[in-house]
Amino acid sequence: MATDDDAPAATITPYQDGPLLVRGDFALVTPEGRTIDARRGTVALCRCGRSALKPFCDGTHKAVRFRAGTDREG
């Protein structure tokens, strides 16, 4: 039987041809170690590389016809 201690701190769900949806208790940190304020418990992270709000998704993947598993540049 699962307990609360067994639950992951965060879950990451890749949406088909879209962002990574991160839910739960997590920290976003730059390569330099600076914390990025996510402002909420669920965020969408860009996978297409074209978002103006990186690391967050702004929906640009739709306009550039991003397809997961292909080159980031389309």
Per CATH, which fold does 9-63 belong to? Answer: Ribosomal Protein L9; domain 1 (3.40.5)
- Taking CA atoms, 23 is separated from 55, 70, 74, in Å, by 15, 25, 27
Question: What pLDDT is attached to residue 69?
Answer: 83
pLDDT tens figures, 36-74: 998 888 999 999 999 999 999 999 999 999 999 865 554
pTM: 0.79
Question: What pLDDT is attached to residue 67?
Answer: 95
- Is it the case that residue 4 has pLDDT exceeding 50? yes
CA separation for the pair 55, 64 (Å, rounded): 17
Neighbours of 44 (CB within 10 A): 20
**Two tokens, residue 50:** 């074209």
pLDDT tens figures, 21-32: 999 999 999 999
What residues does each domain of the chain span? 9-63
